Amino acid sequence: MKKTIVWKIGSSLLAAILGVASVSMAVGCDEEKNGASHATSQNVSSTSLEAFTSAQDESVLPSGSSIVEESSSAEESQSSEEELQSSEEESSVDFTNVAPSFRVIAENGREVELSDFYGKPIVVNFWATWCPPCKAELPDFQAAYEEYGDEVEFLMVAVLWGEAQSDVTTFLSDNGYSFPVYYDVYGEGVNTYGIEGIPMSLFIDKNGELKYSYNYMITDSVLIGSIQDIL
């Protein structure tokens, strides 16, 4: 009887111990399961955030980039228009490269302008019969006219300072010059280019752009070289 009671007590105690262990194991498993579930949830949440961020990067950033590019393109277009407008405004008043036109009288009495000859290379020479350096370089201009007269327009402009047109005509006839002579009767050539001394030579290309300007007597090599550069 006593043994039976002890066994039962022992059995009950063992069962109780086993029950506690089972509960502990269950609780441990649940905690591990919950921990794994929580970690999985965190991983899923992290992956989802990364996917969302990536999606935003793919959907938002290209759109933003496109806006920036369009804005940059618009700014560049506006800048180009402003530069073109500025260039046009400058070209209308700046004669640094473009030869300004002026009126002269041809030998036949016809009024012409320098701009009438735009479209071909032009050589302009301001001179007078009483000017020693002018007269010294005239033979070179005559030779250049004979060689390039079909390709280049020559305007040998007599300034008429202190002499009459008839004086120039006589001088040309006496020296056998055949280059085209024009008379600055209005003084426009002198005033337009601010000429205070002669000779002065201008070399203009077919687009009307002033390439060379010499306010002194030039040599034959400079004359020919400048003509070849504007052809």
User: Which of 122, 130, 129 minimizes the C-alpha distance to 102?
Assistant: 122
- Note whether 121 and 147 are same-domain residues: yes
Same structural domain for residues 34 and 115? Answer: no
Burial pattern 147-156, b for ≥16 Cβ within 10 A else e, equals ebeeebbbbb
Is residue 161 within 8 Å of 167, Cβ to Cβ?
Answer: no
Same domain, 178 and 131: yes
113 and 225 both lie in a single domain: yes
* Closest to 103 (Cα-Cα) out of 93, 114, 92, 116: 114
Question: Residue 96: what pLDDT?
Answer: 56
Torsions phi, psi for 213 (to 5 deg): -140, 125
Q: Are residues 82 and 115 in the same domain?
A: no
Q: Is 140 exposed, middle or buried (0-12, 13-18, 19+ CB in 10 A)?
A: middle
Q: What is the CATH number of the domain that holds 111?
A: 3.40.30.10
CA 162 to chain centre: 48
Q: Is the peptide bond before 62 cis (omega within 30 degrees of 0)?
A: no
How many domains does one find in the chain? Answer: 2
pLDDT tens per residue across all 231 residues of the chain: 444 433 343 444 334 444 433 433 333 434 444 443 343 333 333 333 333 334 334 333 333 333 334 444 455 545 445 543 443 443 333 445 789 999 999 999 999 999 999 999 999 999 999 999 999 999 999 999 999 999 999 999 999 999 999 999 999 999 999 999 999 999 999 999 999 999 999 999 999 999 999 999 999 999 999 999 999
Type of residue at 60: V
Residue that terminates a domain, selected from 72, 94, 116: 94
Domain boundary among 59, 94, 129: 94
Which pLDDT belongs to residue 10? 42
Q: In the chain, which ranges are continuous DSSP H helix?
A: 2-93, 132-148, 165-175, 188-192, 220-230
Q: What are phi and psi of 196, to 5 degrees?
A: -115, -10
177: containing domain: 103-230
State whether 120 and 225 are in the same domain. Answer: yes
CB-CB neighbours of 75 under 10 Å: 10
Compute CA 20 distance to the chain's CA centroid, rounded to the nearest angstrom. Answer: 89
Shared domain for 78 and 128, answered yes or no, is no
Q: In what order do the strands lie in the sheet with 122-127?
A: 111-113, 103-106, 181-183, 153-158, 122-127, 200-204, 210-214
pLDDT for res 98:
82
Q: Which of 94, 126, 145 finishes a domain?
A: 94
Residues 90, 124 within the same domain: no
Same domain, 133 and 82: no
Tokens of 93: 């008043």
Alpha carbon dihedral 31, 34, 38, 41, in 10-degree steps, equals: 160
Same domain, 12 and 116: no
